[in-house]
Amino acid sequence: MDRDAPAVGEGTNIDDEAPRIEPTIETEAATKTDDAELERTLGLVGGLAIGIGTMIGAGIFVFPGLAAGRAGPAAAGSFAIGAVIALFVALPASELATAMPKSGGGYYFISRGLGTFAGTVVGLSLWLGLVFATAFYLVGFGYYAVDTLAELGIAVGNGLVIPLALLFGAGFTVLNVTGTENAAKLQNGIVALLLSILVCFLGFGGLDALGLVGEPAAPERFAPFGAFPVLTTSALVFTSYLGFAQIATVAGEMRDPGRNLPLSMVGSVLIVGTLYVVTIFVATSAFGSERLAELGETAMVEVGRHYLGSIGALAIVFGGLLATISSANASILSTSRAVYAVSRDALLPRRASRINLRYGTPHVALGLAGGPILVLVATGQVELLAEVASFLHLVMYGLICVALVSLRRDEPEWYDPAFRTPGYPVVPAVGAVASFGLIGFMQPASQITGVAVMAVTAGWYFYYARDVTLRGAL
């Protein structure tokens, strides 16, 4: 063997564990290590389903009411700004993912491009960011579950939102530990069903809103509160775009990663971005934004009722249940992959990535996700959960762009991406500035929570893993 353990990727953590880094050969269908082959089984459709399935729950089914209340009809602009920022990050992330098609996504790129400290902070923040995001999706699910009961004639009131969210959060965690067979196929089916519900609904609503069918809607000023709320709303709803980075966490399992990773990341952002903007347009055309704000998390149900009567309301309630379930489930899965990626590199104790003998599932990592998720769900703070999730992801997105620039300026020998970001260096520069900039428009409470979480992860690095070196260690 001419490829002995590289000089980088050394050092041990406080438990005396070293990063497990071995030479591998990547083919389009499998990763080959010295003793085993790891099949790449996920195709383009699977990648898109993870991206869209994670994103669609929040943007369409939870945020329209909240966003319209803040920014008026210009909330559509807030979603568009979010989509553009997500695109400016998705392109550099795609390049890095094709150069390093491994589990771990953003964490992997940053630890290899910028070093262990940035890597640890991002890796642990990604885990916690996903925990916040999942909690947010689950609370959204709780609202839809209560509304579903209401549609069925069982009025229980919003007091049951959190208990229901907790119940299902615990349920999903157990389900994932005991091994749901064909979870990915189910996810594909849910996403396909959701997209068809939405395209029908938005098609009809869009025609109506443009005044082609039905009665013309009451005109409203586009941005009644001015430009600033449009930006703060962007910061709030950015949680709707976190899913594309979750595709990178399964990069190690994607077939033909050079093609499928960029296509699924950019494609899923374009698809959901378009759906979001149209949804907000349709929603704000149905009701004034004040009315939407009153309706809150499940405003879309009333929008459905407005256009298509009780069938519309039922379709949206059903869609909302599916979408928030799919978002929550997809993020719980990504969380366990994030934990695995950092524990493989000795930044967390190795036992965090143990696999359950009976079910073959990573029960410790799933537990590390499920526990904190339930604690956060119990707070019930929809906007705070969403913004902290966005905060932690945005830091990672900004650093992904920085890592790209850093790697490109002094390209190491191993750096050979199949996809190169168009418009370099403008695209990653804009991506980084926009990602960090958007954080500035969040509520102070979210900013403080986000900074505190990152401080804790930095503290963990200095306590646990300061001797580990990862930069350039593939």
Partner 1 sequence: MTRVLVPLTVLEGESVSPGLVRLLEPVDVTVLGYHVLPEQTPPDQARLQYGERATDALADLATAFEDDGREADYRLAFTHDRDQTIDRVAAETESRAYVITGAAGSVDRLFVALTGDVAVDRILEFVVELVGDREIGVTLFLATDAEADGRLALEEAVETLSRRGIDAASTLVVSEGPLDAVSGAPFDALREAAAEHDAIVVGEHAPSLQSFLLGEKPERIAAESVGPVLVVRPPARDASSASLSDSS
Interface stretch with partner 1, choices 106-114, 142-150, 178-186, 400-408 (CB under 8 A): 178-186
- Residue from the set 5, 199, 355, 451 that interacts with partner 1 by CB under 8 A: 355
Here the tokens at position 41 are 């089984």
> Which of 232, 313, 231, 330 has the alpha carbon at shortest distance from 272?
330
Please give the residues from 147 up to 176 whose contact with partner 1 meets the rule CB under 8 A: 176
Please give the residues from 364 up to 423 whose contact with partner 1 meets the rule CB under 8 A: 366
Choice between 205 and 362, CB closer to partner 1: 362
Choice between 31 and 94, CB closer to partner 1: 31
39 lines the binding site for partner 1 (CB under 8 A): yes
37 lines the binding site for partner 1 (CB under 8 A): yes
Question: Which CA distances in Å does 386 have to 1, 159, 235, 329, 445?
Answer: 49, 20, 9, 16, 12
**C-alpha to C-alpha distance for 122 and 436, rounded to whole angstroms:** 14
> Which of 43, 139, 103 has the alpha carbon at shortest distance from 381?
139
30 lines the binding site for partner 1 (CB under 8 A): yes
How many residues at the interface with partner 1, by CB under 8 A?
41
Q: Please say whether the beta carbons of 450 and 388 come within 8 A.
A: yes
Interface stretch with partner 1, choices 23-31, 82-90, 380-388, 465-473 (CB under 8 A): 23-31
18 lines the binding site for partner 1 (CB under 8 A): no
**C-alpha to C-alpha distance for 461 and 104, rounded to whole angstroms:** 18
- Residue from the set 264, 284, 327, 336 that interacts with partner 1 by CB under 8 A: 336
Interface stretch with partner 1, choices 51-59, 273-281, 357-365, 443-451 (CB under 8 A): 357-365
Q: Please say whether the beta carbons of 419 and 92 come within 8 A.
A: no
Residue recorded with tokens 């799919």: 326
Nearest approach, Cβ of residue 106 and partner 1 (Å):
16
426 lines the binding site for partner 1 (CB under 8 A): no
Choice between 169 and 450, CB closer to partner 1: 169
Interface stretch with partner 1, choices 24-32, 77-85, 190-198, 398-406 (CB under 8 A): 24-32
Residue recorded with tokens 């990626």: 341
41 lines the binding site for partner 1 (CB under 8 A): yes
Nearest approach, Cβ of residue 99 and partner 1 (Å):
14
- Residue from the set 6, 179, 211, 226 that interacts with partner 1 by CB under 8 A: 179
17 lines the binding site for partner 1 (CB under 8 A): no
Q: Give the type of residue at 427.
A: V
35 lines the binding site for partner 1 (CB under 8 A): yes
Nearest approach, Cβ of residue 182 and partner 1 (Å):
8
Site string for partner 1, 92-111 (x = CB under 8 A): ----------xx--------
- Residue from the set 13, 98, 234, 353 that interacts with partner 1 by CB under 8 A: 353
Any idea of the CA torsion for 390, 396, 397, 400, to the nearest 10 degrees?
Answer: -170
Interface stretch with partner 1, choices 22-30, 116-124, 149-157, 386-394 (CB under 8 A): 22-30
Interface stretch with partner 1, choices 209-217, 264-272, 337-345, 370-378 (CB under 8 A): 337-345
27 lines the binding site for partner 1 (CB under 8 A): yes
Choice between 181 and 215, CB closer to partner 1: 181
Footprint of partner 1 (CB under 8 A): 20, 25-31, 33, 35-39, 41-42, 102-103, 176, 179-184, 250, 252-253, 333, 336-337, 340, 344, 353-355, 359-362, 366
